[in-house]
Amino acid sequence: MIPMYKIGVVGEKDAAVAFLSLGMTVKGVDTPEEAQRAIDEMAREGYGLIFVTETIAKEIDETIERYKNNFLPAIILIPGVNGSLGIGLQKIKNNVEKAVGVDILSKKEG
């Protein structure tokens, strides 16, 4: 039997509340300390995936990096209420380039 992991969202309250309708656990936070606690708590509780808004993630880079090499939880950065800061996409591009050996996601004129 395949284990079913919970999915959580950590971010500013206005952005995170939209995920409640999808059945995800939502932790609306106001400070970096609240975000760190929420992520650590979800990790201890066995969450498989934690979405974190970019606005919050840029304030807690140390916490995000701590989980980077762990299989679980996977932490994925998503745009906040003010749109994307480009942080999440850059992290994905860096990981793909590391795995493949070349940047295959950039649009290059040829």
Count structural domains, the chain: 1
Q: What share of the chain in percent tops pLDDT 70? A: 75
Specify if 104 maps to a domain.
no
More confidently predicted of 90 and 78: 78
Question: Which one has a higher pLDDT value, 96 or 70?
Answer: 70
Closest of 35, 40, 74 to residue 53, by C-alpha: 35
Radius of gyration of the chain (CA): 15
| pLDDT attached to residue 27 | 95
Higher pLDDT, 97 or 35: 35
User: Helix or strand or coil: residue 77?
Assistant: strand
Single out the residue of 60, 64, 58, 12 nearest to residue 43, CA to CA. Answer: 64
Asked whether residue 21 is assigned to any structural domain, the reply reads: yes
pLDDT at 67 over 60: yes
C-beta separation of 25 from 6 below 8 A: yes
Q: Is residue 108 part of a domain?
A: no
Q: What was the pLDDT predicted at 73?
A: 92
Please indicate, yes or no, if residue 89 is contained in any of the structural domains: no
**Does a structural domain hold residue 109?**
no
Residue 90 CA to residue 53 CA, distance in Å, equals 14
* Domain membership of residue 50 as a residue range: 7-83
Q: In terms of Cα–Cα distance, which of 93, 81, 25, 73 is closest to 54?
A: 81
CATH number at residue 41: 3.40.50.10580
Residue 88 in domain: no
Structural domain contains residue 98 = no
